[in-house]
């Protein structure tokens, strides 16, 4: 839902309600995903419990790359549609309507991914629905697609007094909830669909995708994330497009390399971990950051050079320069991390420290920024990175960003990764640290395609990052969104280096034949806006002018444009007071002693891909990684399944759960309840198998896990007691399943004391 936030609350004179000042009673989210493009409809229900009229203001987050394109307000059988105009004009219209007692609404951008909604003229006892629609791409990482709906906003260091920051508590008695329904049109069966933090109800599942919903309405205290894998006969490619009312054509092209085993050898590397030691990272967040680095240190190559940087009011480092990993240097680094500053958040100093320290001039320096990102801005860091990569010493460096917590600043994290030529991800509550660190190492070990250049030929493509995109890592998509100003058909030629060798991929594109997805235009415009906002060299007045013109032309909310809806008919009231709607606190990290797999984890990086296309065709490459593309149309949603071998073949995996082994003294009703709750987690467990099956198509066998459920419903321990899979791959499946069980939360009401349960599953590939 939209997290509703405000300045400090004070009840107006004469108003009282056990539910708080103004009640946002419910949020309903409905999302449909086609070709990894999500169109999301959000309906907020407000009820004015008072006997006087009020106006309301709330602040809410959306995904960092969300393109907000429509809004309306309804009361009873009357609906008011919005219009996109300049932010100044929209505010003037709204204030005039509010003064006249007309019902009105205003949707504006406060800062990237944080919006403000104003609603005027709520009459006593009235119920009002605010509807918003936005378009966003889902995350794709190592074959895992993740849809995320954020619900909380946190204060950012250096934001300035002109931005309203949210309080982190709601009034007593508020029982606000969020419902969410998601349809995934994959064009083929799913290997698994799950949520690490929320139980799902599978409403429908067939050979073309699935429809799921939250089993119970969620508390708005962090991101709601749903992930899935797809079953394909090979890594796919996708082309979808649209044509607007003026005849302009837009196309989305995605290529997804396979998940690959880590490279045994590679160029010399220096790994530098930059830790945010500011006040907002105190407590569990700092524990999460330390756990990430602990796990990363355990995975260093023998003798590989590393260093640690910490920043708050200033920056310091563990060693003068990166040192080879040894028991002694690793022990010193761990001891150095025990200190926590808890001051400001001078991230720029931390970044400069990481990039400027002396080191091996022939080594590839890889920087991992670990932070909650609660820092406003970043333009100077972008300038520093742009300048750094023009030097001989910096041309091969890469900057990765890892967000910690339930409400991270995705704009900043993505900006650092974009300008740092790396990738960003987020470590969310309820997911495993070891999985995220493993993902980081897979990326740096397998840059599948580097030094990329894209030639659009006679298509005449324009757009941000479509000719020189950043490197493609294993399991990450190369996603390009372009406006075509030339011919509607032609050949896109992608050149780069794979495994040190030059490769060329030729992709036939015909916009007249590909599947129609009208959201592609919004995605293109949103990327242009992001590029303008992140441009470190553009003057402020130039940026403002270009943002205004672009947003108006494509109907998107931006810093310079807003959506305003004003009712010119009957209805509405002159408000006696204005109220700010509070939000709940982001939930804390869920850390359980006993291992890094118990805590936070995340799936991140923005991308589009892993769907089919109807472009057909051929092509070739010298490396064998990119051996051509092809496809046949699909009747579902008008897009097709891509062919060729841009990577490796994957197969479907079947999981047949066995009958759980219960304590003899456990009552039948408790067994039934636990069995039902565990069944809801099977999609999470099946993913553990499907992930390894992508790399090892013959992997199969039986896994038995014994775990202990506490009387509070928390799984306190879990271990593999039998694993008949092959050692290569099987150990990873077992470890992943144990991590899933350790993070399970079951209904405490079904147990009176701790219970030890043994679960088993038979896993088989389906070629």
Alpha-carbon distances, residue 246 vs 243, 484, 529, 561 (angstroms) = 8, 13, 20, 21
Predicted pLDDT of residue 766: 67
The reported pLDDT for the residue numbered 506 is: 85
Question: Does residue 515 surpass a pLDDT of 60?
Answer: yes
Overall average pLDDT of the 430-443 stretch:
72
Higher pLDDT, 412 or 564: 564
For 256-272, what is each residue's pLDDT tens digit? 665 554 455 556 889 99
pLDDT at 654 over 70: yes
pLDDT at 433 (0 to 100) = 75
- pLDDT value at position 612? 27
Contact (Cβ atoms closer than 8 angstroms) between residue 193 and residue 227: yes
Can you give the pLDDT at residue 148? 93
Query: Comparing 163-177, 514-528, 740-754, which segment has the lowest mean pLDDT?
Result: 163-177
Residue 437 has pLDDT above 90, yes or no: no
Residue ranges covered by each domain of the chain: 269-445, 651-766
pLDDT at 604 over 60: no
**Cα 454 to Cα 504: distance, rounded to the nearest angstrom:** 10
**Mean pLDDT in residue range 47-62:** 86
Digit-coded pLDDT (tens) for 691-714: 777 667 788 999 999 988 887 778
Q: What is the rounded CA–CA span in Å between residue 237 and residue 256?
A: 6
- Is the pLDDT at 214 greater than 90, yes or no? yes
Predicted local distance difference test score (pLDDT) of residue 636 = 28
- Joined tokens for residue 753: 């004391």
* Residue written as token pair 């005027």: 120
Q: Which of 220, 175, 167, 217 is nearest to 18 (CA)?
A: 175
Average pLDDT over residues 683-687: 75
Res 179 pLDDT > 90: yes
Neighbouring residues of 723: CB distance < 8 A, sequence distance ≥ 6: 701, 702, 703, 704, 730, 731, 733, 734
With beta carbons less than 8 A apart as the criterion, state whether 322 and 361 touch. no
The CATH superfamily assigned to 269-445 is von Willebrand factor, type A domain (3.40.50.410)
**What was the pLDDT predicted at 190?**
84
Residues 552-581, mean pLDDT to the nearest whole number: 88
For 65, residues 6+ apart whose C-beta sits below 8 A from its C-beta are: 136, 137, 414, 526, 527, 530, 606
- Cα separations in angstroms, 225 against 142, 197, 211, 213, 427: 16, 8, 15, 12, 12
Distance CA 702, CA 225 (A): 29
What is the predicted pLDDT for the residue at 475? Answer: 65
Segment among 40-49, 244-253, 623-632, 646-655 with least mean pLDDT: 623-632
Instruction: Report CA-CA distances (Å) from 195 to 207, 628, 742.
Output: 21, 34, 14
Q: 387 — phi, psi (to 5°)?
A: -70, -40
Chain position carrying tokens 């305003």: 564
Is the pLDDT at 597 greater than 70? The verdict is no
The pair of three-digit structure tokens given for residue 480, joined into one six-digit string? 């390009």
Lowest mean pLDDT among 207-216, 527-536, 630-639, 744-753: 630-639
Does the pLDDT at position 123 exceed 80?
A: yes
Per-residue model confidence (pLDDT) at position 91: 97
At 351-366, the pLDDT tens digits run 999 998 999 888 888 8
* pLDDT confidence of residue 673: 76
Is domain 651-766 annotated with CATH 3.30.1150?
yes
The pLDDT of residue 255:
79
The count of other CB atoms within 10 Å of the CB of residue 655 is 19
Per-residue pLDDT, averaged over 604-619, amounts to 27
> pLDDT for 245-258, tens place per residue?
888 899 998 876 65
Query: What number of helices (H) and strands (E) belong to the chain?
Result: 12, 40
* pTM exceeds cut of 0.85: no
Q: How confident is the model at residue 211 (pLDDT cuts 50, 70, 90)?
A: very high
Give residue 607's pLDDT band: very low, low, confident or very high (50, 70, 90): very low
- The pLDDT score that the predictor gives to residue 187 is 78
The alpha-carbon radius of gyration of the chain (Å, integer) is 26
Q: Taking residues 443-452, what's their average pLDDT?
A: 76
Q: HSE on the CB side for 500, CA within 13 Å?
A: 5
Residue 387: what pLDDT?
Answer: 81
The whole-number pLDDT of residue 602 equals 30
Q: What is the mean pLDDT of the chain?
A: 78
Which residues are paired to 201 by β-bridges?
213
Of 423, 761, 734, the closest CA to residue 605 belongs to: 423
pLDDT at 288: 84
Top-confidence residue, 396 or 30: 30
Average pLDDT estimate for 114-123:
89
Do 269-445 and 651-766 show the same overall fold?
Answer: no
Is residue 239 within 8 Å of residue 251, measured between CB atoms? yes
Asked if residue 495 lies in contact with residue 455, where contact means CB atoms within 8 angstroms, the answer is yes
């Amino acid at each position: 839902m939209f997290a509703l936030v405000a300045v400090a609350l004070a009840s107006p004179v004469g108003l009282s309600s056990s539910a708080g000042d103004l009640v946002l009673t419910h949020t309903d989210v409905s999302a449909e995903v086609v070709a990894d493009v999500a169109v999301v409809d959000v309906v907020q229900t407000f009820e004015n419990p008072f006997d006087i009229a009020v106006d309301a203001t709330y602040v809410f987050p959306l995904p960092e790359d969300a393109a907000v394109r429509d809004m309306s307000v309804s009361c009873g059988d009357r609906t008011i549609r919005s219009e996109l105009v300049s932010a100044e004009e929209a505010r003037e219209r709204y204030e005039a309507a509010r003064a006249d007692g007309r019902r009105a609404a205003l949707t504006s951008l406060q800062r990237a991914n944080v919006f403000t909604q104003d609603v005027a003229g709520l009459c006593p006892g009235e119920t009002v629905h605010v509807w918003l629609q936005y378009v966003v791409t889902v995350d794709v990482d190592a074959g895992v697609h993740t849809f995320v709906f954020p619900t909380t906003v946190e204060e950012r260091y250096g934001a300035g007094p002109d931005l309203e920051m949210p309080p982190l508590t709601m009034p007593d008695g508020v029982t606000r909830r969020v419902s969410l329904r998601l349809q995934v049109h994959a064009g083929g069966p799913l290997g698994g669909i799950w949520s690490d933090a929320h139980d799902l109800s599978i409403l429908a599942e067939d050979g073309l995708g699935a429809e799921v919903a939250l089993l119970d309405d969620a508390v708005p205290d962090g991101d709601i994330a749903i992930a899935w894998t797809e079953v394909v006969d090979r890594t796919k490619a996708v082309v979808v497009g649209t044509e607007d009312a003026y005849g302009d054509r837009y196309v989305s092209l995605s290529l997804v390399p396979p998940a690959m085993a880590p490279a045994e050898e590679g160029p010399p590397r220096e790994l530098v971990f930059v830790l945010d030691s500011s006040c907002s990272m105190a407590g569990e967040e700092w524990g999460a950051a330390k756990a990430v680095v602990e796990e990363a240190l355990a995975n260093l190559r023998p003798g590989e050079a590393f260093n640690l940087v910490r920043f708050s009011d200033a920056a310091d480092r563990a060693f003068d320069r990166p040192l080879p990993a040894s028991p002694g240097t690793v022990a010193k680094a761990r001891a150095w991390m025990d200190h926590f500053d808890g001051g400001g958040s001078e991230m720029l100093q931390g970044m400069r420290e990481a990039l400027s320290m002396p080191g091996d001039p022939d080594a590839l320096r890889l920087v991992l920024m670990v932070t909650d990102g609660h820092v406003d801005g970043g333009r100077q860091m972008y300038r520093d990175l742009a300048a750094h990569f023009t030097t001989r010493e910096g041309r091969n460096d890469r900057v990765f960003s890892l967000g910690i917590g339930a409400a991270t600043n995705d704009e900043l994290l993505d900006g650092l990764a974009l300008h740092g030529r790396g990738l960003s991800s987020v470590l969310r509550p309820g997911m495993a640290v070891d999985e995220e660190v493993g993902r980081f190492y897979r990326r740096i070990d397998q840059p599948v395609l580097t030094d990329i250049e894209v030639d659009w030929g006679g298509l005449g493509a324009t757009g941000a990052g479509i000719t020189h995109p950043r490197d493609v890592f294993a399991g990450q998509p190369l996603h390009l969104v372009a406006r075509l100003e030339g011919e509607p058909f032609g050949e896109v030629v992608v050149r780069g280096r794979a495994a040190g060798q030059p490769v060329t991929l030729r992709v036939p594109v015909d916009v007249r034949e590909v599947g129609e997805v009208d959201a592609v235009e919004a995605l293109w415009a949103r990327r242009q806006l992001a590029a303008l906002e992140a441009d470190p060299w553009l003057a402020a007045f130039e940026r403002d002018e270009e943002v205004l013109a672009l947003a108006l032309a494509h109907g998107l909310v931006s810093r310079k444009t807003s959506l305003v809806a004003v009712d010119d008919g009957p209805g509405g009231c002159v408000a006696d007071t204005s109220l700010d709607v509070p939000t709940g606190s982001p939930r804390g990290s869920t850390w359980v002693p006993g291992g890094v797999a118990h805590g936070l984890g995340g799936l991140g990086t923005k991308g589009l891909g892993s769907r089919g296309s109807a472009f057909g065709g051929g092509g070739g490459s010298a490396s064998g990684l990119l051996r051509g593309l092809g496809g046949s149309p699909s009747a579902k949603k008008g897009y097709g399944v891509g062919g060729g071998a841009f990577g490796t073949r994957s197969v479907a995996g079947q999981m047949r759960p066995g009958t759980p082994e219960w304590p003899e003294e456990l009552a039948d009703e408790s067994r039934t309840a636990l069995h039902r709750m565990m069944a809801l987690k099977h999609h999470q467990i099946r993913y553990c198998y499907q992930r390894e099956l992508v790399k090892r198509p013959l992997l199969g066998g039986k896994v038995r896990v014994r775990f202990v459920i506490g009387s509070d419903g928390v799984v306190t321990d879990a271990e593999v007691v039998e694993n008949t899979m092959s050692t290569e791959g099987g150990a990873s499946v077992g470890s992943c399943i144990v991590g899933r069980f350790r993070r399970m939360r079951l209904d405490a009401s079904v147990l009176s004391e701790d219970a030890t349960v043994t679960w088993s599953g038979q896993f088989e590939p389906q070629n």
